[in-house]
Structure formats: structure tokens, C-alpha cells
Amino acid sequence: MPQKMLVTYALPYANGSLHLGHLVGMIQTDIWVRFQKMQPETQCLFICGCDGHGTPIMIQAEKLNISPEKLIDEVKENQERDLKDFWIDLDNYYTTHSKENHTLVETFYERHLKKGNISKHTIKQAYDPEKNMFLPDRYIKGECPRCGAKDQYGDSCEVCGATYAPTELKNPYSTLSGAKPIEKESEHYFFKLQNYTDLLKQWMHKQTLQSQVIHKLDEWFEMGLREWDISRDAPYFGFNIPGESHKYFYVWFDAPMGYMASFVNLQKRRSDLDFDAYWGKESTFDLYQFIGKDIMYFHTLFWPALLQGANFRMPTAVFCHGFLTVDGQKMSKSRGTFIKARTYLNHLNPEYLRYYLATKLNERIEDLDISFEDFMQRVNADLVGKYINIASRSASFIHKYFDNQLSKALLEPELFKTFVDKSASISEKYKNREFSVAIREIMGLADLANQYVDAKKPWASIKDPQNKEEVHAVCTMALNLFRLLTIYLKPVLPDTAKKIEAFLNIPELHFEDRHQPLLDHTIQIFTPLLKRLEKTDIDALKKEALQHAQNNG
Ligand code: 2FM
Ligand code: ZN
């Protein structure tokens, strides 16, 4: 029986389009999932969706003069289209603003209430007296208490780097109305996270978490877990707290339940999926959750505690990734490096980004830099210059002299075996999310394949009719090596792999197919599969990104 696994990626907020930052994590997860889906011993589902609640979504809908529901629908559709075009192989993309999620949220809430994990008390918060609403920190600006710089956010100064509490800002104002915030009391609901300290510690030691995650968790345990505010006052866009007309669940309470909601929604199309088998306390299936490093606290403390207390299984592992920088710096609208998924797609092949990210991704929580100069070089040198080159330099002979028919015997079984044997190591790297190492190993094989063709020189040999048979065997051999490389690169380059399957005239490739060479078989005519990346393409991309930034402020 294959091991069943459910994989998730953090649900993007529904107030805007996806950008390259989202794609780092989505692509990382997708490569991992696609690798798993190519193995006979695992059966893998990949689900995600958009995170539809919270103040920013409410404000954004107001600004656009549409309902939050309509905003979510539109954004969800756009996000889904972007993900599909980046070849993200999701089994379901749903939304937290759904019936399924509402039911789940109430179930979680009731179960925790019964266990005495919810408390209530009154707190003071910043309030906008003109907008008549409580203000999240990000909607308060003012002068830096240290250097006096104007228009700084409530937690840190972009000019001098000072960090402080929003109450320390001088001349604070609400970014929504401009009014000076006042302090106001309100009763809030809290989840007693501290009740789960021991269980969370046990969970953490049973899992294979990244060392940086363990380190962070140790720090948090050391500081002591505290209760967590799970409510927000109206006006707010979210689910009502049962029995309260003006209070809502905080977006972060229902967001992770959205993973489950996406699964429940998928069940409508997939009657073979059993909820308890995946989510029940006794589940023997795996649950892998990929996230960015900024939301570790939610996914390694709150969420497992919420699951545990509501009688569900906990995650098998939480895999964190770092942030994206462009040319060594945070993505910036003014520099034209804040790039939306769609802007990228308007100019460049999505697989180039998938490949480039794969050459850089590893199992650690490190920030990852895209430098466009390096991006262009990598893609051109590796994909066009090495990988595709193997096919382009051998397929033409098979076509021209051998009627698209591969030879009957494999000329170099030893070399073939070298490629096949490398599978164990490459697979290990994929499994452990050491994609950059996997790619290095695959490109090492591509070098070997090119050296092989260089040494055999079919273009020279073919001039002597006596060598015809040898050329046939050499080119067949080269295409077989190319086929093996295609298997190994398929998690990263799914679309190219599909085109190559059509070119080789074969069914979908899996890792298992590596053992059997492709011989005495008719292939199709080779057409160039990937074109060189030109500087003009990148310039056009940057130009469009800059234009968007100027238009949207
Ligand atoms: O940080 C974010 O973008 C959140 N929308 C992620 C939510 S993940 C899950 F918990 F829903
Ligand atoms: Zn300052």
C-alpha cells in the first residue's frame, strides 16, 4: 500500500495578486509534491486556497467599492490562474470564507470551549474615533520616537531602524481617516495556548523539524506560552463568534482550518477520500505543511495546539522557507523588482523561474536571492546549453537518416547504468528538499551526456557511410540519456517533460521507468523545446513591473 500524504502550502491573502515571493514557497512545495507523485510508494494530495478574512480584505473591498465576497471570488480566480500557469499541481484551491470552513471553525471553537481552553477579558486597544473601529497596528503611523522621522509604522522606523510599541509614536494618526487614535476598552476571547505546552513539546520532539525551527521553539517555550487573542470587534470581515453579534474570530483563528476546509471541499469531487483517515487523531497518513518563516509561530504552536485539543491529528512536519530578495535587496516597487506572478508570465517562461529557484532552494531556512543576470546565465547555460542540447544534437540524425526510428540495442549499457544508479541519490535530495544539490547532480549527468556526444562526433562520423550504424546507436544512446535526465528534471520542468514525452512518443514518465531503455521505437520530429533567455525579455519584464508600481503608487 502506498503511503498517503497530504501536503499544504500557506494560504495567500485574498487582497491582492500573487507575486514572486509567494512563488518561492509554492514552487518549492510543488516540486516536492511532483516528485512524490512520480513515486509508486506514495500517494500524495496537494491542497491550498486563499485566506479570505481580516481587516485588510475588508478595507480593500471598501476601496474598490465591492463586497468582500466579490473581492475574494475575483482574487481567488486570479490566483488560481497564476498558479496553474506556473504549473503548480494543486488538487484543490479553495477559500477560508466558505461553508465548510465555517462549520469547522464552530467545531474547533465548541471543542475548545468545552475543554476550558477559552477565556474572556477586557483589554485596551487603539481606536479610530472617526472610522469607529479598532485599529490593527499596521493602520497606525506617526513620528519615530527616536529620530522624529514622519509617517513611520507603529512597530519600527524605516529611517533609523528603531523598534517600539505603537503607543510610543509621536503624533500618531490612523491611516484610514487621519484621526488621532484613542484608547478604548473591549472584551476579547482568548485561547489558552499555555495549556498545551507539554503536548507541544512532545510533538516537537517526535517530528523531524528543521533545526532553526527547534531553536525558535525552544526560545518560545523558554519565554513561556501565553494566551492568544482570537477575537476582533466589528466592523470586521470574518466569521461571527457564536452568541455574539459584534465580535468575530480573528483571521488567524480560522485560516489554518482553511486547509481542512479545502480538503473537505475536495471530498465532493473525490469520494475515495476519507476525512478521518487524513485528519483523525489516529491517522496513519502524513500531513506536510510548507510555510514561510514569518508564520512559524502560528503553524508550530497555535495550529498544532488547536488540532490536538479539538481531537484531530497534528502535522507530520512543518517545512519553513526563507524570503525572496531580488538583486540582493527586498523586493521594491520603486526599483521595479516587486514582480507580480502575472507580470512575470507576460514575459518569461514559468519553467525558467522554477528551474532557477530549484538551483537555489535547500532544506534550510535561508533567504533566497534572484539576480537577473545570474538567472539568465543559469537558464541559458544549463537548460538550453546542456540539457536540451543533448536532444537537439542527436534527434536530427535519427530523423534525417533513420526515419525517426531508434536503434535496437543500447550501445553503452555501463554509461546508461551510471545514469540509472544516480536516481537513488537524486531522489534522496528531492525528498529532503535539497533541490540545489539534486540539480547539481543532474547537471553533472548532463555534462557526461554531452561529453559522450562530443567524443563520438556523430556529425563527423556520418560523412562516412560505413559509420551509419554507429551513428544510429550513438544518437539512440544520447536520446536515452536525455530521457533519463527528463525523468529527473520532471518535478521541476513538468511542461517541458510533457513536450518531451510527446517528442519521444511515450506515456507519462515516472521514476520507475528509468530501468528500461527506449529502443526500437519510433519518435516524433524534434522541435526546439526551450529558447534562450534574452536580456531584452528581462528588461521588458522589469519595465512592466516599474510601470505597475508607478500606476498603483
Ligand atoms: O501569512 C499569510 O499570508 C497568511 N495568509 C497565511 C495563512 S496560512 C494558513 F494558516 F491559512
Ligand atoms: Zn527613527
- Tens-digit pLDDT profile for residues 285-332: 999 999 999 999 999 999 999 999 999 999 999 999 999 999 898 888
- Structure confidence at residue 208 as a pLDDT band (50, 70, 90): confident
Burial-class residue 197 by CB neighbours within 10 Å (0-12, 13-18, 19+).
middle
pLDDT, tens digit, 9 for 90 and up, residues 84-113: 999 999 999 999 999 999 999 999 999 999
Helices (H), 42-174: 55-64, 68-85, 99-114
Beta strands 286-292 and 3-9, pairing class = parallel
Say what the pLDDT of residue 163 is.
Answer: 86
Residue whose CA is at the smallest distance from ligand 1 atom 8: 10
Nearest-atom index, ligand 1, CA of 258: 11
Instruction: Give, using CA atoms, the residue closest to atom 9 of ligand 1.
Output: 256
Ligand 1 atom at minimum distance from 13 CA: 5
Contact present, 179 and 128 (Cβ < 8 Å): yes
Q: Is 431 left (phi over 0), alpha (psi -120 to 50) or beta?
A: alpha
Determine the atom of ligand 1 nearest the C-alpha atom of 303: 10
Q: How far apart are CA 10 and CA 293, in angstroms?
A: 11
Q: Is 199 exposed, middle or buried (0-12, 13-18, 19+ CB in 10 A)?
A: middle
For the record, the C-alpha cell of 142 comes out as: 506617526
What domains appear along the chain, each with residue ranges and CATH number? 1-117+194-225+234-322 (3.40.50.620), 119-191 (2.170.220.10), 385-515 (1.10.730.10)
Q: What is the pLDDT of residues 139-165, one digit of tens each?
A: 999 999 999 999 998 888 889 988 888
- Which atom of ligand 1 sits closest to the CA of residue 96? 11
Residue with cell 543559469: 378
Is the CB–ligand 1 distance for residue 358 below 6 Å?
Answer: no
Ligand 1 within 6 A of CB of 258: yes
- Please give the distance, rounded to the nearest whole angstrom, from the Cα atom of residue 10 to the centre of ligand 1: 5
Measure 155 CA to ligand 2 centroid, in angstroms.
11
The pLDDT assigned to 155 comes to 81
Calculate how far, in angstroms, residue 373's C-alpha sits from the geometric centre of ligand 2. Answer: 35
What is the distance in A from the centroid of ligand 2 to the CA of 163? Answer: 8
Strands 317-321 and 286-292: parallel
Average pLDDT over residues 117-137: 96
pLDDT of residue 206: 87
Share of the chain above pLDDT 70, in %: 100
Q: Is the CB of 257 under 6 A from ligand 1?
A: no
Buried b / exposed e over 229-247, threshold 16 CB at 10 Å, is bbbbbeebbbbbbeeeeeb
Distance from the CA of 322 to the center of ligand 2, in angstroms? 27
By the 8 A CB rule, do 16 and 74 touch? Answer: no
**Tens-digit pLDDT profile for residues 37-88:** 999 999 999 999 999 999 999 999 999 999 999 999 999 999 999 999 999 9
**Closest C-alpha residue for ligand 1 atom 10:** 256
- Does residue 256 have its Cβ closer than 6 Å to ligand 1? yes
Which of 152-156, 411-415, 485-489 has the least mean pLDDT? 152-156
Handedness of CA 246, 249, 252, 257 (dihedral sign): negative
Ligand nearest to the CA of 149: 2
**pLDDT of residue 352 exceeding 80:** yes
Q: Which atom of ligand 1 is nearest to the CA of 291?
A: 8
Q: Does the pLDDT of residue 552 top 80, yes or no?
A: no
pLDDT of residue 336: 80
Asked whether 255 lines ligand 1 (CB < 6 A), one says: yes
Expressed in percent and rounded to 5, the helix, strand and coil fractions of the chain are 50, 15, 30
Q: Please tell me the number of Cα atoms within 13 Å of 21 on its side-chain side.
A: 19
> Ligand 2 mean position to 326 CA, how many Å?
25
The pLDDT, as a whole number, for residue 207 is 79
99 CA from centroid of ligand 1 (Å)? 19
pLDDT at 25 over 70: yes
The residue whose CB lies within 8 Å of the most ligand 1 atoms, and thus the one to mutate among 7, 8, 11, is 11
Q: Tell me the pLDDT band of 17, cut-offs 50, 70 and 90.
A: very high
The answer to whether the bond into 242 is cis (omega within 30° of 0) is no
Query: Is 80 exceeded by the pLDDT of residue 553?
Result: no
52 pocket-lining for ligand 1 (C-beta < 6 Å): no
- Percent of the chain, pLDDT > 90? 93
Q: Is the Cβ atom of 12 under 6 angstroms away from ligand 1?
A: yes
Which of 298, 303, 319, 320 gets mutated to test ligand 1 (max ligand atoms within 8 A of its CB)?
298
Q: What is the mean pLDDT of the chain?
A: 96
What pLDDT, in 10s, does the model give residues 454-465? 999 999 999 999
Q: What is the pLDDT of residue 335?
A: 80
3-state SS, one letter per residue, for 506-526: CCCCCHHHHHCCCCCCECCCC
